[in-house]
Structure 1
């Protein structure tokens, strides 16, 4: 009975494969997106962080 209910929502000719395990689901839909977000955040933070001020200032780059 349950298998018939699951077949109702499938497209004609569809041949679904096996479902994902809990570990695969967590990896694909939680761990990977969070990891990518952290990696992109780290890269953008590193590239846009404050620059070290040079000790010698020039009148061209600094106005007092």
Structure 2
């Protein structure tokens, strides 16, 4: 029983692969951090800043306002 469990544990990584799959080298810790942590955070910040800049309050003009150009 113990021998059969150890054989299953050795074969388990091969079970998840598709037939004919040839996996390449793994990612380094720096690449993994960059791709899955830093890049998503940077994209979120950039999109947030763009959205904030485009939807922020506009300056009100101090000149005379016209009924045609503004609704109060």
Q: TM range, normalised to the smaller chain? A: 0.7 to 0.9
Aligned partner of 1:24 in structure 2 is 31
Structure 1 unmatched ranges of 5 or more: none
When the two chains are superposed, the root-mean-square deviation of aligned CA atoms in Å is: 1.9
Q: TM-score, normalised by structure 2?
A: 0.75
Number of equivalent positions:
64
| Rg (Cα) greater in structure | 2
| Shift, 1:4, TM fit | 3.7
Structure 2 unmatched ranges of 5 or more: 1-6
| Shift, 1:61, TM fit | 3.1
Q: 2:68 aligns with which of 39, 57, 60?
A: 60
Per the alignment, do residues 11 and 62 of structure 1 end up closer, same or farther by CA in structure 2, a change over 3 Å counting? closer
